[in-house]
Amino acid sequence: MAVSFANVNSEAGLKKLDEYLLTRSYITGYQASKDDLAAYSSFSAAPSSKYINVARWFSHIDALLRLSGVTAEGLGVKVESSAGPSASTPDVAEAPAADEDDDDDVDLFGEETEEEKKAAEERAAAAKASGKKKESGKSSVLLDVKPWDDETDMAKLEEAVRSVQMEGLFWGASKLVPVGYGIKKLQIMMTIVDDLVSVDTLIEDHLCAEPVSEYVQSCDIVAFNKIFCSYYSKLFCF
């Protein structure tokens, strides 16, 4: 089923998209797809840093396109243009497929505009002027934390999970998801500094060990995505 968004170049559209991406790494699914391309190409310029979730996603898709491209099909997405709903983009699933023989000649977004060139030059100049050492890589991780049974106090479970603190670990948004038979699991986002935090060690030595294990039966990784800081290091590199 296609996902629809208001004009992402407006304050209202950016706010809605920022809320949508609060607990998601991509527009649909757990990998970059043509849904992300459709949404990305609707931006007339890079989003403001105050929309932190949109800016994180935009930076990630921008880096993927420069490195290797995006090929996954996606579920379909519609984004209103500044002209209104009638100018919305077609479902990604309905977009014509490119001729496999002409892959090398495909330009997904047309020629780079003067504004895009200027923005790219400013980013490059800022990175060169900073003279800072390369920042450690960071990752965004979504965890499933499961309780022992339906009598487990989920508020205390979340409190116990968030009580785990270490350098390079930053807890984010969370929500309770029904599993069945009255049992709910906790889905929680976290950002880690790769050189400082091992997710496996965090789960085995902290989340599934005492005292947190009083509430937590098991903990699984749902999504694990690298955060590219090349263009927005000042915003997202802690």
Cβ partners under 8 Å of residue 92, min gap 6: 2, 33, 34, 35, 37, 38, 73, 74, 75, 76, 77
Nearest to 77 by CA among 33, 108, 31, 46: 33
Report which DSSP code applies to 184.
Answer: E
pLDDT per residue over 66-89, tens digit each? 766 666 666 666 676 654 443 343
Residue 39's alpha-carbon distances to 53, 104, 124, in angstroms, are 14, 23, 24
What pLDDT, on the 0 to 100 scale, is given for residue 77? Answer: 66
pLDDT per residue over 177-234, tens digit each? 998 888 999 999 999 998 999 999 999 999 999 999 999 999 999 999 988 554 444 4
pLDDT per residue over 15-30, tens digit each? 999 999 998 888 888 8
Domains of the chain, start order:
3-96 (1.20.1050), 138-227 (3.30.70.60)
What pLDDT, on the 0 to 100 scale, is given for residue 191? Answer: 93
For residue 122 the two structure tokens come to 């400013």
Nearest to 52 by CA among 76, 10, 18: 18
Is residue 37 within 8 Å of residue 108, measured between CB atoms?
A: yes
Residue type, 204: E
- Note if the pTM is more than 0.95: no
For residue 228 the two structure tokens come to 């590219």
CA distance 19 to 4: 14
- Among 66-75, 85-94, 112-121, 147-156, the range scoring the smallest mean pLDDT is 85-94
